[in-house]
Amino acid sequence: MVFHSMRGPSIHGETVQCGDEAIWNMYPGIYIESLDGEEAAIFCCCRAALANHPCPRCLVHKSQLHEITQSFEPRTPENMQDVLRRAASASSKTAMESILKQYGLHNIQVCDCWCLSEQVHH
């Protein structure tokens, strides 16, 4: 069993000293998110069908969705991070939204916490 070693710590916790010298009681777990199509689009910051680039896998423009034999630039974490950096440095909120909308993104941050924790006080 791959996760057998996590059984005890997931129930009782495991004390860990972090780099900032704080001591935490960690409860490891597996994050599961069950979503329908619209919720999935929101969760991954996409505007879905309303976006100029609605595909979550590539940067096909909505006017070219019917061109199924063509290849389009893949939507990668690197190129989406570049878009988010450009949007963050935009001169106004309107300009930022315009950049994000071009790529079908929203200005939200999704939590990427993988375990519950509580600080241990001495």
Domain ranges of the chain: 45-112
Look at 16-30, 47-61, 75-89, 91-105 and tell me which has the smallest mean pLDDT: 47-61
Top pLDDT among 72 and 38 is at: 72
Confidence (pTM): 0.48
Q: Could you say which DSSP state residue 63 is in? A: G
CA pair distance 88, 43, nearest whole angstrom: 20
Is residue 73 pLDDT above 70, yes or no? Answer: yes
Q: Name residue, tokens 């423009």.
A: 61
